[in-house]
Structures are given as C-alpha cells and as structure tokens.
Amino acid sequence: MKEKMDLSIMDMGRMMQELFRVFKKRIESEENAEVKLSSEQFSLLHALSLKEEEVIQKDMAEMMGKDKSAVLRIIDCLEEKGLVRRVAAMEDRRKNYLMVTKAGYRAIDLYMVIVYELVKELRDGLSQEDVDTFHKVVNQIRCNAIKL
Amino acid sequence: MKEKMDLSIMDMGRMMQELFRVFKKRIESEENAEVKLSSEQFSLLHALSLKEEEVIQKDMAEMMGKDKSAVLRIIDCLEEKGLVRRVAAMEDRRKNYLMVTKAGYRAIDLYMVIVYELVKELRDGLSQEDVDTFHKVVNQIRCNAIKL
DNA sequence: AAAATTAGTTGTATTTGTCAACTAATAAAC
DNA sequence: GTTTATTAGTTGACAAATACAACTAATTTT
C-alpha cells in the first residue's frame, strides 16, 4: 500500500513536470513579442507586477523560493530588456526597488494571452469543481511546503 | 473574470514550482547515499525501474517528455555512477536497452524513503478524497498536454 | 567605535535543455 | 541487390537556471 502510494506520487510528479515543459515551450516559442522571455523571466516579471507594495530583490527571492543570486540574474536580464527598473531606496541605499516599466506591462499582457490560451486547452474536460479542488490541494500542499 | 482566472492560474503555477523546488532540494541534500543524485537523475532512474519491458533511450525520452540528448546526458551520468547499464540490443545494434543495476535499485530504495517522508509532510491536512481528485485533475491535464 | 548583519554583486561550477549536424545501423524503395 | 530514406544514439555549441562561497558597501547592533 505504501509502495503503491509512492509510485502514484512519483507518477504525479512526472505529470506535473510535463505541465511545466508545456508551459515553458509555449512561452519560449512566442515570436510576436517585442522581447523574448524565458519562462522563468516571465514568471518573475508577472509576480512582480502583482505586488502592490514596493518590493526589493530579496523579497522576490523569498517569494519565488529562489536563491538571491538566481533572482539577481533574472532581474539583470529583465532590466537589460527594459522591462524592469531597479530604483535605489532613499531610506536604505543597499535596497533596490523593482519597478515594472511600460514595456514590461505590455510584455505581460501579451504573454498572458498565451497563458490563457494554454490554460483553456489544458482544462478541457475538467469541471469547475475539479479545478477548485485541485486549487485547494495545491494551496494546502504549498502551505505545508513552506513549513519545511 | 478572465483576468481573475489567469491570475489564479499563474499563482497555482508558482505553487507547483515551489513543490518541485522542495522536492529537488530534498533529493539533492541527501548525504547518506552511496552516490548523490540530482532530482532529474533520480526521476529518470525511478521511471526506468518501473518499466517491465526493456526500454531504449528513445522510449525514455518520449516517456519523460525530454529531448533525446537531454536523456542521453542524464543516462551518461547514471551510467557513470554505476546505477544504469546500456546494453546493445541484439536484433538492432543502434538500440541500447537500459538496465538498472543492483546499486541502482539500492539508490532508488534509499531515495524513495526520502520521497515518502516528504509526501507525508506535504499531504498533511488533506483528505484522501482531495488527493484523489488532485490526481484525477493532474491526469486529465496531462492528457490534454500530450495532445499539444 | 567596533562588530555584526544585511542587500546586492561576482565568480565558479554544475545541471539541464535546445538544436543542428553527424555516424552507423536498419528499413524501405526501386 | 543497390540506393535512398529513416532511425537511434552521439557530439558540439550554446543558453538558462541554479547553488554556493566570497566579497563589498550600507546599515544596525553591541
């Protein structure tokens, strides 16, 4: 029984990996954007756009669960593409506030169209109730994961 | 409404990313193993161990949704660590059957203990019914993804 | 004032992934 | 049987992401 459960879990892991691959491929095959983004770049840009308060790099690293230097590297790319600006905080010059530029918001809008299309395709055949449960489970699992 | 759904989807995406990071960190921080494995190496080794028929690299690439050269790289590592053997097929010398070694099975057993522990922690607070629905949804989404 | 902590940066190494080109083996076509 | 096309794996080059340690400058704590 335990063994059966474990197998099932690894199977699910592989399924989720497939989702990410599809997402990644879809994002990275976009050719109409002013700037090309990798899936990780887009994810961070999007997450940043949702924050209502000013955030610094360290905040994004924590939020995304990434190493600070990993975040720095991605922000470097986004800044170079003109989608994000670092603005030194006046009260503490070590801190950089991260701001999404106009071009950044345009890129987000464009890539969100892609995401929306993909999501529509992926949820074909699923009831709203199933999706809600899925969401609930993912949320609970994430809460558990954060405790680790 | 559409916008709200999209945000929710990106949010879920981030949650699932977090799961993978936790899994990856757990796997890669194992220090008692004879050999250290990355999460991708372990995943492929485990998937291979489940196959009841002999499989070749191409099969694994398809099954894992990876590029053939990506699979080759991982198998190179696993073979070098002595966990997997390539055995040329007698009926077609282009094909390599992939066989898990004794050490390979030992490694799987050890890492599965880790996975089991992690899963227990992650599913805390979830009913079996929720987990089953989650599984069903993931399965359906994957079927949809394969069609893309 | 000195020591400790913090935010970001840099360097290095590793892993994984993509894609194209290639080789050798096999299958298909003629 | 010969030629052409396809296949399985390999190689090379490049890119992205990640980890970790060490570092610098700014700030906080002692």
Say what the ipTM of the complex is. 0.84
Task: Determine the number of helices (DSSP H) and then strands (DSSP E) in chain A.
Answer: 6, 2
How many residues can be counted in chain A? 148
Q: Is residue A47 part of a domain?
A: yes
Q: Is residue A94 part of a domain?
A: yes
Query: Which H helix or E strand runs over A88?
Result: strand A84-88
Q: Is residue A142 part of a domain?
A: no
Which residues, other chains included, contact B67 with Cβ-Cβ below 8 Å and sequence gap of 6+?
B61
Whether B19 contacts chain A with CB within 8 A: yes
Tell me, what's the pLDDT at A8? 65
Judged by CB atoms closer than 8 Å, whether chains meet at A141 and B7 is answered as no
Give the Cα separation of A20 and B74 in Å (integer).
Answer: 19
Tell me, what's the pLDDT at B98? 96
Q: Is residue A33 part of a domain?
A: yes
pLDDT tens string A75-116: 999 999 999 999 999 999 999 999 999 999 999 999 998 888
The CATH number of residue B139's host domain is 1.10.10.10
Judged by CB atoms closer than 8 Å, whether chains meet at A19 and B141 is answered as yes
- The domain tally of chain B equals 1
Nearest to A13 by CA among B71, B142, B67: B142
Average predicted confidence (pLDDT) for chain A: 86
A61 to chain B, minimum CA–CA distance in Å? 12
Q: Is residue A53 part of a domain?
A: yes
Instruction: Tell which B residues from 23 to 42 touch A, by Cβ distance under 8 Å.
Output: 23
Q: Is residue A127 part of a domain?
A: no
| Range(s) of the domain holding residue A32 | 2-111
pLDDT tens string A35-55: 889 999 999 999 999 998 999
Intervals of chain B under pLDDT 70: 1-8, 148
